[in-house]
Structure 1
Amino acid sequence: MSNLLRRSFSGIIYVLIFISAILFSKESYIILTTLFGLICVWEFSKLIDFKSLIGYILFGLTLFLLLKRPDSFEIVGILGITIISSLFLMYALFTKKEITFSSDRAKSGLLIRYIIFSMIFLVLLPIQGNEYNPNLIIAILILIWVNDSFAFLVGKNFGKTKLFVSVSPKKTIEGFIGGLLFAFVASFIISKFNNDFTLINWLIIAFIVSVIGTIGDLVESKFKRQANIKDSGTIMPGHGGMLDRLDSLLFAAPFVYLYINFII
């Protein structure tokens, strides 16, 4: 089987499982995203050579407590820490500085801020108090997938100017712009069927998802380049690891959560 067929087949299976869990119930969504989160913790722990079990324990405990009290004050502090940490990772990316984590303490802090806290906000995105809104997370997934797909297609066919060659040599500025424009188109269509937000708000969400998601992809590529590996894992044939598949969504989730819950 060619790599394209493997990639297409595993991608379709991934989408079907994800959408089915979202639509079936709040509980099935939480269970699946929690499983995804644990796999990401495992893959990133291997990537930075961190052998402690603290990441799994803290992820489960923090998620359990925040699901019990989704409107608690603690979530504001965790969101602030996550956003600030993401900004530092962006700074390291754009200044081309190496992300250092020489001690186990530094590795655990990085794992918590970059993977665990971000994953928690992905789980919490469609949950407002006791209300579960599956259409919201599906819309965000559509924006992510449209951006990624058209960034690839436009970049492959028209891309000439490299976006960030030192980290991801295949990405182009033309592909980035193409993905962003088609995400705007998708947000316009979504606004016609989803009345949760106005068109302007959907366009802003599309902008956050596209721009921050692309940066998240580059940040994960930077970690892999520092570790001298191609993929974070092998769980998804043709795609690599779960972290490779979720890197954009994972990085963008706290920013989307911030906009939806504290700005709109």
Structure 2
Amino acid sequence: MSELLKRTLSGVFYVVLLISAILISEYTFIALFFLFGIVCLYELQKLLKLNSYLNYIVLTIALVFFGILKYHEYSIITLLIVTIFVKILLLKDLIIINKIPLFEGKKYILTLFYLISSIIFLTLIPYENKEYSPYILIGVFLLVWFNDSFAYLVGKNFGKRKLYERISPKKTIEGFIGGLVFAMIASIGVAYYTKTLDYKTWLIVSILVSIFGTCGDLIQSKLKRQANVKDSGNIMPGHGGLLDRLDSILFAGTFVYAYLLII
């Protein structure tokens, strides 16, 4: 019971902190994601057995450059293309290769394009016609939470066929479908209450979040298995590391941003 209480309290604190920072102003939101980025970078470097202060400098410069100064132009398109390419290669490693090759250069590629650029794209999502629109990002987070929660509940109660047993024994195909369906249903409520994007856009965002969020979760699980650890850290009692909580949205956020950019 004490473990459940710890998990609940830390989860509530995380949600309240996140939503409050997003709603107060774009600067509190960017500041929080800077702190999230520092913690996640520390946890990822521990998983990869990499010790580089340069990555923290790159994260800081990138957030100032893209998040505060709002310098986008062609540079953000280039970063987006490279990030999506790296993530597709990671999906290939997830499906085809038993062990993700982690030579020194690959470790830096992962920190730069699996994590740092993913944080940048999350900070760029809540803008509509260059105006800060916090409810867009809150809506994306809500869809992630709906997907994760119902994937767990449906999988626990009805799951029989394993989704990817070698990497994540508890995930089931039924759970994945349940998470996807309930996220799609939740997108109707998100569209209605946030009054930002239209119903069709939120529906497609819910599908992107479910598919690529699950992929991000599986890639993070594979990295943890290779590092022979259960969690990426212990900053959140009962939940593990912050990277464990953000792995889905960090991976999916890039594809959500790309879709919003296109439309």
What runs of 5+ residues in structure 1 fail to find an aligned partner?
none
1:83 aligns with 2:95: no
Aligned counterparts of 1:258 and 1:140: Cα–Cα separation in 2: 14
Deviations 1:101-152 (A, max 9, x none): 222x331122111111111111121135651111101100110000001111
Distance 1:150 1:97, change over 3 A: same
Task: String of CA shifts for 1:203-238, please: whole Å, max 9, x gaps.
Answer: 110000011001100000000011111000000011
Q: Are 1:70 and 1:129, in contact at CA under 8 Å, matched by a contact in 2?
A: no
Please give the alpha-carbon distance, in whole angstroms, between the structure 1 residues aligned to 2:85 and 2:102.
17
SS for the counterpart of 2:139 is: helix
Distance 1:207 1:145 in 2: 13
Whole-angstrom CA distance in 1 between matches of 2:146 and 2:70: 33
* Secondary structure of 1:73's aligned partner: helix
Deviations 1:59-96 (A, max 9, x none): 11112111213432100000011111111111111114
Aligned partners of 2:39 and 2:242 also within 8 Å: yes
- Taking the aligned partners of 2:71 and 2:152, their CA distance within structure 1 comes to 36
Measure the CA separation in 1 of the matches of 2:75 and 2:129: 14
Matches of 1:70 and 1:156, distance apart in 2? 45
TM-score (normalizing by structure 1): 0.96
**Aligned equivalent of 1:188:** 188
Letter of the 1:14 partner, please give it.
Answer: Y
Identity among equivalent positions (%) equals 48
Q: Which moved more, 1:147-156 or 1:120-129?
A: 120-129
Corresponding residue for residue 74 of structure 2 = 73
Distance 2:194 2:10 in 1: 29
Matching residue of 2:2: 2
- Corresponding residue pairs, total: 262
The AA in structure 2 aligned to 1:52 is S
Q: Residue 48 of structure 2 corresponds to which residue in structure 1?
A: 48
TM-score by length of 2: 0.96
AA aligned opposite 1:12: V
SS at match of 2:73: coil
- Residue by residue over 1:151-191, the C-alpha shift from the partner in whole angstroms, topping out at 9 and shown as x without a partner, is 11111111111111011101111111111111011001122
Distance between the aligned counterparts of 1:218 and 1:69, measured in 2?
Answer: 32
Q: 189-198 vs 20-29, which deviates more?
A: 189-198
Structure 2 gaps, min length 5 = none
Say if 2:233 and 2:242, in contact at 8 Å, map to a contact too. Answer: yes
2:29 alignment partner in structure 1: 29
Paired residue secondary structure (2:201):
helix
One-letter amino acid of the counterpart of residue 75, structure 2: E
SS of 1:163's equivalent in the other structure is strand
